[in-house]
Structure 1
C-alpha cells in the first residue's frame, strides 16, 4: 500500500447525476493550482447520484481551506453538490470495542504501530477483562465494562460517554460479541464498523464454524459493514472469502476465518478513514485503491 503524502488533500463530493460534474471540479483544481494525484468517480444510475473522490497536491504553499471552499462554492451551487475537504495527514481517532477474541484487535494495533493504518487508537473498550494486557503493551487505556441483560442500556451509556470524552471519530467493533441497542445504533450511524463471519448457509449462534464443518461448507469468509439497527445487515464495505474442502477440520475453518476477518476489517477501516466510502441508499460506493 502506498502511503499518502503529508501535503496532499482529499476532496470528496456528491451531487445529483448531471452533465459536467467531473469537469467542474477538475477545471477548478487546475485553475486554482492544485495538482490531481488520484481521481475516482461513479454515477449511480439507480439512485441518480454522482460520487467523486480526488486526492490532490496544492502548488501554493499557503493553501487555504477557507479560500478553496469559498471559491468552489460559487461553482458547486449550480450542481447542488455537497463536498468535504480534509488533509491526508490527519489521523482519525478510532475507538476499538472487543470481547475475548484478540485476532482483529491485535492486527489493527500492529498495523497502526507499523504505519500501515493511518489512525490513532486512544481507547479500547471491552465487556471482558481478558485483553487488557495487550492494551497495556500498546500503552492504550482499557476500559472493562461488564454487561448483563439488566445493565445493557447503562453500559452502552458508559461507552457513549467514553467516545465523547476521547473525541472519537470512528468506532470499530473488532469482534465485540454484543448486539447494540437501537438507540446505540442510531447514535453510531455511519460512524461504526463491524466485522463478522460470512458463512453460507448462515450459521448463527454458538460455534458457527463447527456448524459449518458439519454441513461440509466449501468456503469461509468475512464481511465488514457499517452498524445499523438491522443485525449484521448494515451497508457492506468489504468482504473476503477463501475456499475450503473436506480436509479442513473445525479448527482449520476457524483459523482461515480469522485470517479473512483480519484483512477484511483492516481494509474497511482504511477505506473509511481515507474517505473512500460513500453511502448510496442502503449500499456503499467504495473507491478502493
Structure 2
C-alpha cells in the first residue's frame, strides 16, 4: 500500500491550543507525526510550527489542508503543506568562482541534497563545461547596465518555465534589482563571502585582513532589495592569524562558503526555514 509524507509549516499569533488542534487533526487522518518543532517569539508574540507527518495510505495535499481547515479558521493560521516526496527544482546562478556551485552539485549527486538542478545561469562562460558534463541546461546571459532588466525578465521566465522553487546565487557577482528581489522574496538564497553584518560589499576578505580580524566566515541569507541585509539562514566562522595573507583568507573562505551555502539550501528545501520579519526561524534537525 502506498503512503504519503507531508511537511506542515504554520505561523500565527501565539494562542493556547494550536499544537493540540493540529496534532488532533492529523491523528484523525491517521497520520504518524515523525518530527515536530515549534518556537514562540516572545518579542513579537509570533508562533512557528514545523511538523513532518507520515500517512499510512495515499493522502492528497488537499485532504491534509481540508483536515486542518477548522484549526486554520479558529487560530487564523498561515499554513503551508508540502509533499516531502516531491523533488524540488532549483536554478543555480554563478559567475567565475565555481566552488560553491561544484559543492552543491556534489551534494546532490551523493544524495545529501535532494533537488534537481533545472538550469545553471551565468554571466560568464566558465561554468558551461561543468553544466554540459552534468547534463544540466546552461544559460550564458552577460549582464550590463543596459540589459540587466531584460536578463532578469529572462530569469523570471526561466523560473516559471522550469517550475523552479529556489534560485541560488552561488557566488553570482551581480546585484539583483529591487523588482526581482521583491518578486522572489524568500526564494533567492545568496552566499556572502563574509560574516554579516560585518564587511559588506566587494572584497570582504581583504577588508577583514586589513582590520586584522582573528575570525572570518560566510553568511547564507535570503536576498532583499537592501544589499547584504536579507534574513540570515546559516553562518560559519574559522580562525585565522596575522601570518596569513589576504589570499589565504580568500582560500579559507572558499571552503566555508561552500559548506554554509549547502546547509542553507538543505534547510530551505526541507522546509526548516521560516521567515520572521527580517530574521529567520531555522529548525535544525
Cα distance between partner residues in 1 of 2:63 and 2:28: 13
Distance 1:288 1:151, change over 3 A: same
- Contact 2:196 2:219 (C-alpha < 8 Å) held by counterparts: no
- Extract structure 1 runs of 4+ deviating beyond 6 A: none
Q: The residue matched to 1:178 in structure 2 has which SS?
A: coil
Cα distance between partner residues in 1 of 2:70 and 2:147: 52
Q: Which residue of 1 is the match for residue 68 of structure 2?
A: 72
Cα distance between partner residues in 1 of 2:36 and 2:268: 16
Q: The residue matched to 1:230 in structure 2 has which SS?
A: coil
- Contact 1:47 1:280 (C-alpha < 8 Å) held by counterparts: no
TM-score of the superposed pair, with normalisation by structure 2: 0.94
Q: Which residue of 2 is the match for residue 20 of structure 1?
A: 17
Cα distance between partner residues in 2 of 1:71 and 1:279: 25
Q: The residue matched to 2:218 in structure 1 has which SS?
A: strand
User: What do you get for the CA RMSD once the two structures are aligned?
Assistant: 1.8
Q: Which residue of 2 is the match for residue 171 of structure 1?
A: 167
Q: 2:47 aligns with which of 45, 50, 54?
A: 50
Shift of 1:177: 0.3
Task: Confirm or deny that 1:264 pairs with 2:257.
Answer: no
Cα distance between partner residues in 1 of 2:185 and 2:201: 25
Gaps of 5+ in 2: none
Aligned residues: 283
Shift of 1:237: 0.8
Q: Which residue of 2 is the match for residue 198 of structure 1?
A: 194
Distance 1:35 1:262, change over 3 A: same
Deviations 1:134-192 (A, max 9, x none): 11111101111111122222222222222222221110000000111111111121111
Distance 1:28 1:227, change over 3 A: same
TM-score of the superposed pair, with normalisation by structure 1: 0.92
Pairing 1:123-272 to 2, within 5 Å after superposition: 123-199=119-195, 202-203=198-199, 206-272=202-268
Shift of 1:255: 1.7
- Contact 2:61 2:83 (C-alpha < 8 Å) held by counterparts: no
Gaps of 5+ in 1: 1-5
Q: Which residue of 2 is the match for residue 3 of structure 1?
A: none
